[in-house]
Homo-oligomer: A and B are copies of this chain.
């Protein structure tokens, strides 16, 4: 085993914030065309270089007159003035308005010399070349004077102003077509694991390769924070190459990020390079996750090393690095980056250090936001999409009670609670239903977790193939049946006939995990077979090669069979058909789509109901049950 650096003296989180704040990420100012200025931040104060409008401008369609000619006029006793010309918007007036005269004028046109007021056409009458004015005007009426909107020399926009549509409007009015903005810090992201492969490239699973998750995730986070991400390709396991990539990134970027490789050699290389070519400011932080965080400099660039687990990397990035990028870019934290909710369930802590708890959001029937813990530190990628953000839990907190208010730091400001949150069976008919719902969240964790989370008020819906729950008040939105049995290679080469083949023949089997309804159905069928044969159920199960070889997802056993890694897999007829495999039926299961009654009005639940009732899909006719049936 290679020697590893130990994290003996973990820095407090504040020290990590300070260390990152000490790094200089500030990019140079740049100039962008107005059309590309949206979302950028003004680098300097802009004063108006001209008056807006640049001339005395008619605010209405009507007639330009001398106000004193109208004094005393009213509806009963209009004043008569002579029409001597007209002025349209966008043209130089070729008329002067003398005493007793007027000129027709369009909105936006230049008020001609001599005139000092404009009367709306609605308050006038026309008799040939004479205009009757039925109201008294004061000088300046219906005129926007030059500079009345913006005056030349006025402070128009201050440094640090974030440029949105409205600022673009003001800049346009001032004729500004090139805008001096804060540069975006360039953030290099170096991929460090020997086992990491770029998405799109072929993957050798047998060699332990996995796709590189953190590079693209962190790049998206960098862009969101106002930085410009630059991905550096994995340089191979050669130390020299690795050092070359790191130093190239440091040379080209304001900040270099790497996300903790699991390979010891990469960590060692980064260590050595930072120590030789820069300065290590901080090594290890007393937070969970994120302990193995590195902060330092590398040549003239700043450097931060993120942890390797995707949720941990995104959490540490969001908490420690994104604020620094935003600061450098001059962008404030976006509105809606944090939201407040109530714990849906209780949660206990034992760490004694600051913990960032990945959390999912769900709204209850009253629209209140509930927060539930998601990731248990498994390192799973799916935790990324199961979690909406993180809750910072103080080192002293041992317990968060259900209903307690917590603040969730969202992974992105665009993250919102799903319209419906469901947990339960993984099922092909259900997958099609979910396609008709906007922003659902569904975790195919099996019948038992589904019912458990429906019961504790976290999930809105559960999908179960287990028997109807007795002590749970639920709405049954739909019910359908599915054929299950043994999935075998195409043509059933081993002549599998049913459960007996599983027990009696020497065939490799792949089961589902015990949370799955199908596993329960199989166990019941095995028990029935044991009774039939008059043998002990346990002995029967022992005779199966692979009864405990369990996989989580419903297609997985069939896929193992297709890959030639097993002879028989537990699965659905629909799956066997879809994957072009053989199928030996064993039984029929009832799948129920259940909803918590107090969540019936949530938009996603409603959309699910509509999807169930729309007759278009054949599979739904299998449901055959009215919404609202109490299970």
User: Interface of A with B (CB < 8 Å)?
Assistant: 1, 4, 34-35, 38-39, 45, 47, 50-55, 57, 59, 61, 86-92, 104, 106-110, 121, 139, 144-155, 157-162, 164-178, 193-201, 203-221, 223-224, 231, 237, 261-264, 310, 314, 332, 334-336, 378-382, 384-385, 387, 411-416, 426, 431, 434-435, 437-440, 442, 444, 548, 551-556, 559, 575, 579
Contact = CB atoms under 8 A, between A and B. Distances in A.
B382 A207 contact: no
B220 A199 contact: no
A332 to B, nearest CB: 7
Contacts of A207: 90-92, 110
Contacts of A168: 216-217, 219-220
B159 A435 contact: yes
19 contacts: A35-B219, A52-B211, A54-B203, A55-B206, A59-B378, A88-B263, A108-B193, A139-B548, A146-B551, A148-B552, A150-B381, A150-B382, A151-B551, A158-B440, A165-B218, A166-B415, A170-B381, A335-B335, A336-B336
A424 to B, nearest CB: 13
A159 B207 CA distance: 33
A89 to B, nearest CB: 4
A141 to B, nearest CB: 13
A23 to B, nearest CB: 21
A179 to B, nearest CB: 10
Contacts of A87: 208
A165 B50 contact: no
A68 to B, nearest CB: 13
B431 A45 contact: yes
Interface centre among A145, A335, A416, A575 (most CB of B within 10 A): A335
Contacts of A385: 157, 166-167, 169-170
A149 B213 CA distance: 13
A479 to B, nearest CB: 20
B555 A414 contact: no
4 shortest interchain CB distances as A-B pairs: A151-B553, A177-B200, A54-B205, A153-B555
**Most B Cβ at <10 Å: residue of A164, A205, A379:** A164
Contact of A164 (B34, B211, B220, B431): B220
Contacts of A218: 165
Contacts of A35: 216, 219, 231
Contact of A195 (B89, B145, B209): B89
A220 B38 contact: yes
A410 to B, nearest CB: 8
Contacts of A332: 416, 438-439
A517 to B, nearest CB: 16
B556 A108 contact: no
A379 B58 CA distance: 11
A52 B262 contact: no
A100 to B, nearest CB: 20
Max chain B Cβ within 10 angstroms of own Cβ: one of A160, A262, A440: A262
A555 B151 contact: yes
A241 B429 CA distance: 56
A444 B231 contact: no
A611 to B, nearest CB: 12
Given A110-B208, A153-B559, A170-B381, 18 more contacts: A1-B104, A34-B199, A52-B211, A54-B205, A55-B208, A88-B263, A145-B552, A152-B553, A154-B426, A157-B385, A164-B224, A165-B217, A165-B224, A165-B314, A166-B385, A166-B415, A169-B217, A177-B199
Contacts of A146: 205, 551
A460 to B, nearest CB: 16
A106 B173 CA distance: 62
Given A170-B381, A193-B89, A556 B152 contact: yes
A361 to B, nearest CB: 12
Given A152-B559, A205-B55, A158 B108 contact: no
Contacts of A204: 92
Contacts of A148: 380, 551-552
Contacts of A559: 51, 151-153
